[in-house]
Amino acid sequence: MYTCRERSSSYVNFGNKLMTSLKVTALCATAALLVTGSTAVAGQVMDDIKSSDELVCLVNPKSPGFSVPDSQGVFQGFNTDFCRMAAAAILGDASKADIRGIGFSDSMKTIVAGGAHMASRSITATGTRDADAGMAFVATTFYDGQGFMVPSALGVSSASQLSGATVCAEDGSTTLLTLADWFGDHKIEYRVENIADKTARLEAFFSGKCDVYASDITALNSDRLLSDTPDAFTILPEVISAEPLTLVTQPDQDLEAAVFWAFQVMLNADKYDITSENIDAITADISAQPKAVRRMFAQDGATADMATKLGLPADWAYQVVKQVGSYGEVFDHHLGAETPFKLDRANSVNADFADGGLMYAYPIR
Amino acid sequence: MIPPRLPPPDRKILPVWDIFATAVVVLLIAFAVNNVITNMSLAGATPGFGFLWQNAGFDVSEALIPYSPENGYYRVIIVGLLNTLLLAVVSLVLATALGLLIGLMAVGPSPIGRIAASGYVEVFRNLPKLLILLILFVTAVNELPHVRSAVGFGGFYLSNRSLYFPTLVFTPQIWGVLASMGGAILLALLMQSRLKQHRIKTGKALPMLGACVPCVLLLPVLGAWVLDVQWVWSLPEFAGFDYKGGLRLSLQFIVIALTLGLYHGAQIGEVIRGGIEAVPSGQGEAAQALGLSRGQALRLIILPQVVRIILPSMSNQYVNLIKNTSVAIAVGYADLMSVAGTIINQSFRPLEMMLITMGMYLVICLSVTMMLNRMNERLRLAQH
């Protein structure tokens, strides 16, 4: 008893991550022991969301641009908006998303144990993970790739010059596997330091304990801003992995469909230049719109039919765009030219398909 | 006066409550195990340990045995286990040495020593270890020099990455030196028992150190000379990004060992202080009246009694320290918890990996407890 109390009290005070780790372990154990049969039954998780009138959604607790708490302690960011998207589509109110910050390692365990309805936290979809019965990969919101960041003073211009370097990476992530693959394939010697605590990890890199920081390119972009001298660091040109960062839900056919199609509404809105600003003007003059737009937002459109089948509010597509916005709107708002990250979506793989990107809006009909 | 013994508990009363409680516990366990198996098969997962032989696919920061990502998960688990054990042993020694020092200072004659000891104890007993660890780590990485400007002293180099030091290249001839060293130690042990007999017979203590140190030192030197050993040193040398050659102790290892040493040193210090204060002061006075010096009284009269008193709390401290090595994950030391976490994320076998990890910690902690319990039993015989 003494041990248990002593250990947990120190975790409560410091190290959010370890505290959650502890909670999750307990949660996992309880879930494994007590919950009866949790196979993917259509609608079960969806019913739970509706009856509790809130959608529990996991995000990264500290990822500038993607999810960080603002001065009021409310999470803001690109990933956060997909939690709000799901709440707007299912509950008709984006603010009904109960957004919780959680470490990477524990987020998937929490989903599997039934501790959250979905996660929007830059989780890479992989075969093994998707094969697990406890979670479903639903829609890729961001195409990323793993890269390297080095101090500019090191004078390195390509990852092939990194022989003998020490690389810092997040504990427990796919980053470690990708590193081992890439350095192994290129027969380059390296050392890895996988540090779980983000502050410790970044301090280790900024102070030069590690020569290289490896993570997804976008994470490198945002983590760089946490340094006192962001310009002193360079991101190397090599992209060594495919990282389709994907929304994860508990397995439930209705929930998966709702989240997937809500995301397609955001892509379609982007394609037709519909935003949260102009949506009211569009719906006010719905008969003058292209047919695809009418199917999305008219009262007798395809989305209304989907609403009855999936058990969503009739105007779910309107609510998603009105309360959250189109994909491009959300992207620019959190990551675009006006933000410190200055990501150029038009020239990236996250551009619309028509502009040569991978964001391909499925037909809503 | 020996107090009268309590009568043995009455065995005739039917232990209804014992039986009831046991039945409840057994039923709960059976229910849980059954549920896990049922639910896992419902979810399409078959519990099993076959995955341990799949490729691990990830690197670790430090390993005591050769390891590459091509090896199976089982091997990286052993790597993590050995790292945990190394960390535990080093931290145990540090914490015990520090605790002994603090305990002695706390009851010592010097007021400054007493104040310093109680100040140290209060600070480190009242801070969470994770905070101590993060403060030490962040300070160390920022204050120690970068690897390119590492400070060197006699083949040793210290940077905010690692402590690098020279190591002897193991040539076959060194076996001969080691053998002669073993022989010397054996000889010393033999001599010690002879000297003890001599002291029992005559009451005179012969200088043990004076006789033994030369022979322990001389024999290996003689062995090395006879075998004409070539001493080959591997020296750390800076090349490219890092030092090559020699051995290294990573900064995180040093920082975690220091954290656990400081944190548990404070608690062990308190245990030892309590133990010393529990020995009646008459014992020390009597020892001095018999002509023993202060040091002898401490070593021969007080400490043996202290050890007997503190053993139960010490085993508690040791077990806590061993489990607390798991904070290592925060600063990137590849201990058992760290590799287990990575394996769970890659293989998605949380139940199996948690069982393995739990089993390993259980075995380590139980062995330590059993060892200390046996010591306790042996010491208790002397006490009536």
Instruction: Quick: pLDDT tens for A281-325.
Output: 999 999 999 999 999 999 888 999 999 999 999 999 999 999 999
Mapping DSSP to helix (H, G, I), strand (E, B) and coil, where does residue B19 land? helix
Distance CA(B83)–CA(B103), nearest Å, equals: 29
Q: Is the CB of residue A116 less than 8 Å from the CB of residue A110?
A: yes
- CB interface of B with A, residues 338-377, below 8 Å: 338, 341-342, 344-348, 350-351, 354
Contact A181 B323 (CB under 8 A): no
Q: Closest CB to B332: pick one of A11, A38, A194.
A: A194
User: Within 13 A of A243's CA, how many CA atoms are on the CB side?
Assistant: 23
A-chain residues near B55 (CB < 8 A): none
pLDDT for position A32:
43
High-pLDDT (> 70) share of chain B, %: 91
Write out chain A residues lying below 8 Å of B32, CB-based.
Answer: 33-34
ipTM of the complex in this document:
0.72
Give me the total of CB pairs closer than 8 Å, taking one residue from chain A and one from chain B.
180
Per-residue pLDDT averaged across B265-287, rounded? 91
pLDDT tens digits, B144-202: 988 888 888 888 899 988 899 888 877 777 777 788 888 888 888 888 788 788 888 87
Give the pLDDT of residue B12.
Answer: 61
**How many angstroms separate the first and last alpha carbons of chain B?**
11
Least confident of A328-332, B45-49, B292-296: B45-49
Tell me what pLDDT residue A8 has. 34
Residues of B in contact with A34 (CB under 8 A): 32, 35
> In one letter, which amino acid is B62?
E
**Is A180's CB within 8 Å of B58's CB?**
yes
Beta-bridged to residue A169, according to DSSP, are A194
Cα B220 to chain centroid, rounded: 29
pLDDT at B112: 93
Q: Check residue B41 and give its pLDDT.
A: 75
Measure the CA–CA gap between B301 and B284, rounded to whole angstroms. Answer: 7
Nearest CA to B243 among B139, B166, B331, B334? Answer: B166
CA-wise closest residue to A224 among A333, A105, A99, A343 = A343
Q: What is the mean predicted confidence (pLDDT) over B337-346? A: 86
Interface with A, mutate which of B34, B141, B143, B148 (most A CBs under 10 A): B141
Contact B39 A108 (CB under 8 A): no
| Per-residue pLDDT tens over the stretch A135-193 | 899 999 999 888 999 999 888 888 899 988 999 988 766 788 889 999 999 999 898 98
Indicate the helix (H) or strand (E) that contains B50.
none
A203–B142: do the CB atoms touch at under 8 Å?
yes
- Chain B's closest residue to A17, CA to CA, is B330
Chain A residues whose beta carbon lies within 8 Å of the beta carbon of residue B323 = 3, 7
Q: Residue by residue, what is the 3-state secondary structure of A8-37?
A: HHHHHHCCHHHHHHHHHHHHHHHHHHHCCC
Q: Is B205 helix (H, G, I), strand (E, B) or coil?
A: coil
Residue in A131, A164, A35, A220 with CA at minimum distance from that of residue B348: A131
Q: Are residues B359 and B306 in contact, defined by beta-carbon separation less than 8 angstroms? A: no
Contact call for B36 and A37, based on CB within 8 A: no
| pLDDT band per the 50, 70, 90 thresholds, residue B3 | low
Does the predicted model carry a pTM greater than 0.80? no
Identify the band that residue A17 occupies on the pLDDT scale cut at 50, 70 and 90: very low
CA gap B36, A2 in Å, rounded? 29
